[in-house]
Structure 1
Amino acid sequence: MGRLLAIDYGQKRVGLAVTDSEKIIATALETIAEKEVLEYIKNYIETEPVEIFVLGMPKRLDNSPSSNAAAVVKFQKKLETLFPDIPIKLEDERFTSSLALDAMISGGMSKKNRRVKGNVDKISAVLILQTYMERNSY
């Protein structure tokens, strides 16, 4: 049994979050430059088993794919090629950035740290992972 690894894919930065080995808690892992993320995931998997990738899929309010959805699908295909034994589950990521900002404010994070876009990406990945875990009774 491995961990669940959530991915908030962006064309510049990618936020990552992971569960504990018991799949109880989702925790922010890292924000990685897009060009380095596949190597980072490969290295992570060498030390920690991953059972499922939970990939955030950007959608519009009407449930249609957003403008970034094509890039996410392209990234999904790379994941499938590099890690064929790890299933990929898509999770709606609507509103995660605004919810992440709200969480940072209510958590008392300073304005300076809230401006660091990588922090929003990591927390968005946590929200994607928590939503997936809640829907699938982890």
Structure 2
Amino acid sequence: MSFTLKKRVIAIDYGTKRIGVAKSDPLQLFAQPVGTVDRAGLSGMLEEMLRSDEIGRVIIGYPLGGNGETNAMTGVIDRFIEDLLVEFPQLMIERVDEHHSSKDARKILAASGKSRKVRQEKGRIDSAAACVLLTEYLESRNR
């Protein structure tokens, strides 16, 4: 049995203070947290991954309400995506619904057995939320 390596999928959980990042393995089967960065750190990370030809697609958590309605943060994400495409026009960007990713990330971190203090460290939830987004995305594509 042989496997074909693909380019990685990068997931971004955008926040005004921190940006959570996760990436897939080269087979696009699993998600792994990368960590959190600020906007400049994200640019550097994407630039490096593009230079090494690792990125096939970027998914960005898109905040919609339970009924699919937009909100104030949706506009912020739209502007963020526009800025990313100006900076990196070669990126393939896809919006994915994120309305429950942070809640799911908190549950996963609670189940991990880590102390409450560790679970609440800045950025841990952001990175875990990006991982939740990416896991759901990969599972939906591999069904």
Q: TM-score, normalised by structure 1?
A: 0.92
**Residue 28 of structure 1: aligned partner:** 33
Distance 1:64 1:39 in 2: 33
Aligned length: 138
Return the match for 2:115 from 107, 110, 119.
Answer: 110
Contact 1:11 1:34 in 2 (8 A): no
Identity %: 25
Matched, 1:88 2:83: no
> What is the deviation of 1:48?
5.3
Instruction: Say which one has the larger Rg.
Output: 2
Distance 1:137 1:25 in 2: 11
- With 122-131 and 108-117 compared, the bigger mean Cα shift is at 108-117
Return the match for 2:8 from 3, 12, 20.
Answer: 3
Q: TM-score, normalised by structure 2?
A: 0.89
Matched, 1:98 2:92: no
> What is the deviation of 1:35?
4.3
**1:31-69 CA deviation, whole Å, 9 max, x = no partner?**
002343222321233335100001110111221113211
**Residue 43 of structure 1: aligned partner:** 48
Contact 1:14 1:121 in 2 (8 A): yes
- Where structure 1 has 5 or more consecutive residues not aligned to the other structure, the ranges are none
Distance 1:25 1:61 in 2: 27
- With 56-65 and 12-21 compared, the bigger mean Cα shift is at 56-65
Distance 2:90 2:23 in 1: 18
Give the CA RMSD over aligned residues. 1.5
What is the correspondence of 1:117-132 to structure 2 with a 5 Å cutoff?
117-132=122-137
- With 124-133 and 76-85 compared, the bigger mean Cα shift is at 76-85
**1:66-88 CA deviation, whole Å, 9 max, x = no partner?**
32111111111122222222211
3-state SS of paired residue (2:48) = helix
3-state SS of paired residue (2:114) = coil
Residue 133 of structure 2 aligns to which amino acid in structure 1?
Answer: I
